Amino acid sequence: MLHRPRKRFGQNFLVDQQVIAEIIAAISPQPDNHIVEIGPGFGALTTQLIQPAEKLDVIEIDRDLVEALKQQFASEKLNIHAADALRFDFSALGRSMRIVGNLPYNISTPLLFHISQFSDQIVDMHFMLQKEVVERMVGVPSSPQYGRLSVMLQYRFHMEHVFTVPATAFRPMPKIESAIIRMMPIPRSDLTVRDEKILARIVAAAFSQRRKTLRNSLQEFMKESDYAALGIDPGLRAENLSVTDYVNVANHLSA
């Protein structure tokens, strides 16, 4: 099938067989797994995932690729959802999902936030992302990579940068390197923030002007007495607080 990659869908197709084998080894699909693949494209990973998996759901927005997948794979093992993953209701697929995918770089951050809403139904996730995004996801406090994405995802997931993927593994070849990340949901019982909306607002405000001190960036939310009660120096910057610090701030304000 002749298919011209579409920029509006952020399409870069994985073609390196060695990299594909390494990704499958990292996922380690088992016969009783319920695997959900986002953006299967030409089926480079799908072909390997469908062999051991009992059930495989794929979500693909490109109608031409949907038709190609229908012709390539038997319908009894592959359930194709012609949909936009950004708007897809993952809860409709049931529980114990293992989600994988080569995520379009142009929507990776909002897509990660969207999927995180369904973490109670997810066993784990393995994604191919822009290397820079993966570095931000696993960034540690007081580092340049640490930011809003780090805090909000580290609150919900244990994450591991598995390995880096060179640009030469794709067609067309992107201008940047990619990386595989493994994400394991933290059990709901271990999530201690009282109001996640307040947490999200605080983190967004703190990092919106990351060179400012907390005293300035959070002046809408925090007074000097709040910092004193929490034992936090208002002269620090957003990147100096840990995920636990942000949870404590959110809980203090929601109380």
pLDDT at 3 over 50: no
Q: Where are the domains of the chain?
A: 7-189, 196-254
Report pTM.
0.91
CATH superfamily assigned to domain 196-254: rRNA adenine dimethylase, C-terminal domain (1.10.8.100)
pLDDT per residue over 73-97, tens digit each? 877 789 999 999 999 999 999 999 9
- Is it true that 7-189 and 196-254 share their CATH fold? no
pLDDT at 8 over 60: no
Give the least confident one: 35-44, 150-159, 200-209.
35-44
Class of domain 7-189: alpha beta
pLDDT per residue over 11-27, tens digit each? 578 889 999 999 999 99
Higher confidence at residue 230 or residue 255? 230
What pLDDT, on the 0 to 100 scale, is given for residue 6? 44
What pLDDT, on the 0 to 100 scale, is given for residue 5? 43
How would residue 174 be classed by pLDDT, with cut points 50, 70 and 90? confident
3-state SS string over the chain? CCCCCCHHHCCCEECCHHHHHHHHHHHCCCCCCEEEEECCCCCCCHHHHCCCCCEEEEEECCHHHHHHHHHHCCCCCEEEEECCHHHCCHHHHCCCEEEEEECCHHHHHHHHHHHHCCHHHEEEEEEEEEHHHHHHHCCCCCCCCCCHHHHHHHHHEEEEEEEEECHHHEECCCCCCEEEEEEEECCHHHCCCCCHHHHHHHHHHHHHCCCCEHHHHCCCCCCHHHHHHHCCCCCCEHHHCCHHHHHHHHHHHHC
How would residue 56 be classed by pLDDT, with cut points 50, 70 and 90? very high
